[in-house]
Amino acid sequence: MKRKLIIGMTLALMAAPAAAADFPSRPIQVIVPYSAGGSTDLSLRVVADTFKRLYDGKQFVVRNQPGGGGAIGTSATVHARPDGYTLGAGAQGPIAILPHLGGTDYTLDDVEFVGLFGRSIQVMVACKGAPFDDFESFFEYAKTKAPQIGNSGAGGANHVSAQAFADEAHIKIENVPYNGSSDARTACVGGHIDAMVASPAEALAQSKAGNMKPIFVMEPKRIDLFPDTPTAVEKGINFTWSSWKGIIAPKGIPEADLAFLREAVKKIATDDEFVKKMTDMGEFVTYEDAATFKARAEKDSKSAERVLKDIGMYGMNK
Amino acid sequence: METLAYLAPLFHIDVLGAIMLGTLGGLVIGALPGLTATMGVALLIPLTFGMPAVMGLNMLIGIYIGGIYGGCISSILLRTPGTPASAATVLDGYPMAQKGEAGKALGMATIASTIGGLVAAVVLAALAPQLASIALQFGAPEYFALALFGLTIIASLSGDLLKGAISGLLGILISCVGADPISGVLRYTFGVSGFASGFAFTPALIGLFALSEVFTLMERMARDEPNIQPVRGRWPSWQDMRESRGALIRGSLIGTLIGIIPGVGSGTASWISYNEARRSSPTPEKFGTGYAPGIAATESANNAVCAAALIPLLALGIPGDVVTAVLMGGLMIQGLAPGPIMFQTNPDVIVGIFGGTFLATIFMFIFGMALIPLFSRILAVPRHILAVAIMIFCFIGSFAINLNPVDLYTMVGFGVLGWFMQKFGFSQAALCIAMILGPMLEANLRRGLMQTHDDLFAFASGPLTILFLTLTVLSLGWPVLSRFLARRREAKTMTLETK
């Protein structure tokens, strides 16, 4: 314990010169575009906690600005004064999907990417009492009937991902929108829908209880939590999808300050204690620098655009 | 024996202190309009990172229970519901405070909250796994039928049936603003992105009940009416308790049952409970005039929901409302996955949470009762200062929730609407109920019909759906039926007398 402390203090001292410039001289505000208590909010609170620990008392202050599926808070972030003191939680829905629906006053191009610290792996699960329980039987069923797949909201991330999969696999599905993912999960455990897209953590707990069965993982490779569950890719369907969490900012932040913030996200995302806490919460921590993060968001945005055009939702709120 | 061993850590001084602090903090948060139990729990989650599971979780549960209770304080004293859960408490609580009986009203609310909380906690501890399956019976048609049944309250609460119906329909229309729940198309937002999720609920309620009251207060000041003379005392009389007995028992049970159904929430529970209390009372005309059983009904129900909402969370891993969803986050941070297996893997945590729920409810009672004289003193503030203070609260409270400036327009708009409604005898309660139930009604009707491919018979075929639809018909038909029965009884006694 003592030794850890000493190492920590030495590290902190070593880090100090790098951040010697007076930025940040006051707390940095991070806008979370969702209500307090959701997974994005909780993750950002852990980020803020870690920042305070790593940067010796300097502070991230989380500010929740929910509404419009994340569009209101994201708009507030990209239109904030670019002095580095207002950042935002960057989430897939409001950045890569919502602008295609219309009704947002920003696009992907208005976003300055700082860094990505976590991805949410997605698993398609069969719900309680569904007429299928693995990939083969799911596919067999989908050849003749359209399975009802619940999602957390029309035009939301897992509506788009389920539809993108169906397009790629040439099957028909019926999308059943719910008001948020916990409502969809309730319906799934109660057997009111056939399948849904879940996070590995919730899928694991519920499949142990016999309420859900994993069908496939939306990753390029199998994951440790579900070693026996196939990916869509290995079944010959060119489809991967994951949602993500990162830090974004308005464009125009002074170069040096932006560099400091990017470095901070990297340090936080690679901090052992941070990784452990996030993993306990069921998040998958991974660090991507600004350029990789931006490329990922652009790729998702392209897929979302295609899917939304297909199902006639493109630009519907313009 | 094992259970006792699991309970022992609760009585450690740190844990007791954490629950006590949580409950007191929750009470203050709930009492301040604009700060909700959800925010309190979410803000304090990082504090629990380093705590042992039972201690951290029980602190959060303390905040939750204290927060829902605290909402009644501003409802009763200032007509400012801090949470949708306590909107129904305004109906009898505020008139009581205006009669000078603020202490007694708060006392009744505290006792009712405690009884509701304890009843639900007993049910939670005794029957959680068995009852949790109720939560799973509710598909789209069931939710639709429940919402429809809830709407019948409007008929009995609004006095003037036509004006009540107008208020109710207006409420449903208002709840259509924002993204369509099924297709995601924006409706009636007129291009204002702040309305993309519809009117924010709490600011709307604050406007409807509190700002409108500020206008009324100003009118009264202009007429130079005397200030309220507060009566001392916080304990309801034995007669109050006797009259409230039925309301308390029914409220606790209604709250428990509704709490188990995910996503329905304490707002609905307290309105249904209020309506049932009024319906079965020998003196229904006293409700709404500052009648203690009215408070007993709403407060017992909304606090019962708190403990009951933990049932589906712990037993099935599905959160029943926003606060329990946040609590679930708190559990996951501790590395615990709520659900049926948790009863086997972590019985200590489960028993610890059961025990903590009891303790938090008891602390809530003690703090609530002790602080009543302090809270009641608010009413001794001269009316012109109070009016300004409430107005400031309205603005700060409405903004604090989402930090969205558009919510201030919502609040002021609803304030003006509420004032007009009050002046011309339209029921604000009816509007409020319709706004709570409208979204549930619409989304589930459309979702259900979509799932059954527009087959109305398949939609209305489940036993629970049929039950609630029957209750709806009975509830609407009951006044007519009871009048008919009464007339027959009268006729009978008349004929007997003539014989």
Q: What is the pLDDT of residues B467-481, one digit of tens each?
A: 999 999 988 887 777
In our burial notation (b when 16+ CB lie closer than 10 A, e otherwise), range B285-319 reads ebbbebbbbbbbbbbbbbbbbbbbbbbbbbbbbbb
B88 to chain A, minimum CA–CA distance in Å?
Answer: 25
pLDDT at B64 over 80: yes
Q: Which residue's entry shows tokens 């327009």?
A: B409
Rounded to the nearest 10°, the torsion over CA B404, B405, B411, B417 is -120
In this structure, of B42-51, B111-120, B126-135, B417-426, the range with the lowest mean pLDDT score is: B42-51
pLDDT at B311 over 60: yes
Beta-carbon separation of A41 and B340 below 8 A:
no
CB-nearest to A189 from B45, B318, B450 is: B318
- A242 forms beta bridges with A121
Collect all residues of chain A within an 8 Å Cβ-Cβ radius of residue B402: 64-67, 72
pLDDT band at B146 (very low <50, low <70, confident <90, very high): very high
- Region B347-376: what's the mean pLDDT? 91
Beta-carbon separation of A204 and B183 below 8 A:
no
What does the pLDDT read at residue B378?
A: 79
- Region B444-454: what's the mean pLDDT? 94
Q: What is the pLDDT of residues B147-166, one digit of tens each?
A: 999 898 887 777 778 898 99
Q: For residue A125, which of A78, A162, A176, A95 has the smallest C-alpha distance?
A: A162
pLDDT at A119 over 70: yes
Structure tokens at B428: 């604000």
What does the pLDDT read at residue B226?
A: 64
Q: What is the DSSP letter of A226?
A: B
Collect all residues of chain B within an 8 Å Cβ-Cβ radius of residue A185: 318
What does the pLDDT read at residue A16?
A: 44
What does the pLDDT read at residue A21?
A: 58
Say how far apart CA B6 and CA B59 lie, in whole Å. Answer: 17
Higher pLDDT, residue A140 or B495: A140
pLDDT at A8 over 90: no
Q: A166: helix, coil or strand?
A: helix
CB-nearest to B196 from A72, A281, A313 is: A72
Q: What is the pLDDT of residues B388-405, one digit of tens each?
A: 888 988 898 888 888 888
What does the pLDDT read at residue A15?
A: 46
What does the pLDDT read at residue A1?
A: 45
Burial of A108 (0-12, 13-18, 19+ CB in 10 A): middle
What does the pLDDT read at residue B191?
A: 81
What does the pLDDT read at residue B231?
A: 64
In this structure, of A38-47, B125-134, B301-310, the range with the lowest mean pLDDT score is: B125-134
Q: What is the torsional sign of CA A63, A65, A70, A74?
A: negative
Collect all residues of chain A within an 8 Å Cβ-Cβ radius of residue B312: 186
Share of chain B above pLDDT 70, in %: 96
Tell me phi and psi for residue A120, to 5 degrees.
-110, 110
Say how far apart CA B409 and CA B417 lie, in whole Å. Answer: 12
Higher pLDDT, residue B41 or B301: B301
Per the prediction, chain A carries an average pLDDT of: 89
Share of chain A above pLDDT 90, in %: 67
What does the pLDDT read at residue B496?
A: 65
What does the pLDDT read at residue A17?
A: 42
pLDDT at B192 over 60: yes
CA distances in angstroms from B196 to A203, A301, B222, listed in the order given: 31, 21, 40
Collect all residues of chain B within an 8 Å Cβ-Cβ radius of residue A72: 193-194, 196-197, 402, 404
Beta-carbon separation of B262 and A183 below 8 A:
yes
In this structure, of A5-9, A261-265, B311-315, B352-356, the range with the lowest mean pLDDT score is: A5-9
CB-nearest to A72 from B38, B181, B194 is: B194
Please give, one letter per residue, the 3-state secondary structure of B37-86: HHHHHHHHHHHHCCCCHHHHHHHHHHHHHHHHHHHHHHHHHHCCCCCHHH
B82 to chain A, minimum CA–CA distance in Å?
Answer: 17
Beta-carbon separation of B316 and A189 below 8 A:
yes
Chain B nearest-CA residue for A31: B403
What does the pLDDT read at residue A20?
A: 44
What does the pLDDT read at residue B482?
A: 75
Say how far apart CA B319 and CA B325 lie, in whole Å. Answer: 5
Higher pLDDT, residue A222 or A318: A222
Beta-carbon separation of B135 and A183 below 8 A:
no
Amino acid at A120: S
Q: Where is mean pLDDT largest: A15-19, A231-235, A279-283?
A: A231-235
What does the pLDDT read at residue A144?
A: 92
Start-to-end C-alpha separation, chain A: 58
Q: A313: helix, coil or strand?
A: coil
Collect all residues of chain B within an 8 Å Cβ-Cβ radius of residue A182: 262, 318-319, 325
Start-to-end C-alpha separation, chain B: 69
In degrees, rounded to 5, the angle at the alpha carbon of residue A55 between the alpha carbons of residues A59 and A73 is 35
What does the pLDDT read at residue B218?
A: 84
pLDDT at B223 over 90: no
Beta-carbon separation of A282 and B332 below 8 A:
yes
Higher pLDDT, residue B364 or B185: B364
Say how far apart CA B92 and CA B74 lie, in whole Å. Answer: 13
Share of chain B above pLDDT 90, in %: 37
Q: For residue A187, which of B441, B262, B437 has the smallest C-alpha distance?
A: B262
CB-nearest to B325 from A37, A49, A317 is: A37
Q: A217: helix, coil or strand?
A: strand
A68 to chain B, minimum CA–CA distance in Å?
Answer: 5
How many CB pairs below 8 A link A and B? 163
Structure tokens at B232: 């001392």
pLDDT at A150 over 90: yes
pLDDT at B406 over 80: yes
- Region A61-80: what's the mean pLDDT? 90
What does the pLDDT read at residue A275?
A: 95
pLDDT band at A6 (very low <50, low <70, confident <90, very high): low
What does the pLDDT read at residue B365?
A: 95
In this structure, of A23-37, A74-88, A297-311, the range with the lowest mean pLDDT score is: A23-37
pLDDT band at A292 (very low <50, low <70, confident <90, very high): very high
CB-nearest to B402 from A67, A179, A192 is: A67
Chain B nearest-CA residue for A202: B337
Q: For residue B108, which of B377, B290, B275 has the smallest C-alpha distance?
A: B290
pLDDT band at B497 (very low <50, low <70, confident <90, very high): low
Yes or no: say if B31 and B73 are a contact pair by the CB < 8 Å rule. Answer: yes
**Interstrand relation of A195-198 and A123-126 (parallel, antiparallel or unpaired):** antiparallel
Helix H or strand E segment including A263: helix A255-269
Collect all residues of chain B within an 8 Å Cβ-Cβ radius of residue A192: 139-140, 451
Beta-carbon separation of A72 and B317 below 8 A:
no
Chain B nearest-CA residue for A179: B181
Q: What is the pLDDT of residues A166-209, one digit of tens each?
A: 999 999 999 999 988 888 888 999 999 999 999 888 888 888 88
pLDDT at B74 over 50: yes
Yes or no: say if B109 and B85 are a contact pair by the CB < 8 Å rule. Answer: no
Per the prediction, chain B carries an average pLDDT of: 87
B303 to chain A, minimum CA–CA distance in Å?
Answer: 21
Q: What is the pLDDT of residues A237-256, one digit of tens each?
A: 999 999 999 999 999 999 99
Q: What is the pTM of this model?
A: 0.85
Burial of B471 (0-12, 13-18, 19+ CB in 10 A): middle
Yes or no: say if B270 and B85 are a contact pair by the CB < 8 Å rule. Answer: yes
pLDDT at A13 over 50: no
Beta-carbon separation of A36 and B38 below 8 A:
yes
In this structure, of A127-141, A235-249, B102-116, B314-328, the range with the lowest mean pLDDT score is: B314-328
